[in-house]
């Protein structure tokens, strides 16, 4: 899971379905969510949707446009449209099922 700069996203948006993980540097809940997300992606053996880390403070325009209410937030995007937002990172199983839903 790589960090994605806002400039890179604006000039070269991923095609198809992709996932953006919004977080802030000093958010403890974000750190726990990132650990769960990392475990989930590892269980998918490289077959997960492209997933990128986004520093929320750099993405304010998109956060407002997509109505991201808080961090951590996982945003599933297909062809430029938000399909789903997830705020509660309850378990690896829940994350895995959500990824499978949008494959």
Q: Which residue segments constitute the domains of the chain, with CATH numbers given?
A: 2-7+14-101 (3.40.30.10)
Contact 21, 53 (CB under 8 A): yes
1 confidence band (pLDDT: 50, 70, 90): confident
pLDDT tier at 3, thresholds 50, 70, 90: very high
What confidence score (pLDDT) does residue 12 get? 87
- Angstrom distances, CA of residue 16 to CA of 7, 19, 49, 94: 19, 10, 9, 22
Per-residue pLDDT at 24 exceeds 90? yes
Region 15-24: what's the mean pLDDT?
Answer: 94
Categorize the per-residue pLDDT at 13 as very low, low, confident or very high, splitting at 50, 70 and 90: confident
pLDDT, tens only, 29-85: 999 999 999 999 999 998 999 999 999 999 999 999 999 999 999 999 998 899 999
Nearest Cα neighbor of 17 from 47, 39, 38 is 47
First to last CA, the chain: 17
What's the pLDDT band for 15 if we cut at 50, 70, 90?
Answer: confident
């Amino acid at each position: 899971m790589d960090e994605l700069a806002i400039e890179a996203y604006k000039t070269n948006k991923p095609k198809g379905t992709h996932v953006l993980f919004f977080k802030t540097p000093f958010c403890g809940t974000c750190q726990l969510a990132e650990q769960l997300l990392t475990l989930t992606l590892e269980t998918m053996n490289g077959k997960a949707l492209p997933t990128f880390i986004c520093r929320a403070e750099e993405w304010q325009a998109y956060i407002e446009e997509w109505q991201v209410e808080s961090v951590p937030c996982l945003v599933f995007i297909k062809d430029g449209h938000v399909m789903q937002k997830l705020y509660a990172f309850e378990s690896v199983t829940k994350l895995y099922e959500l990824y499978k839903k949008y494959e």
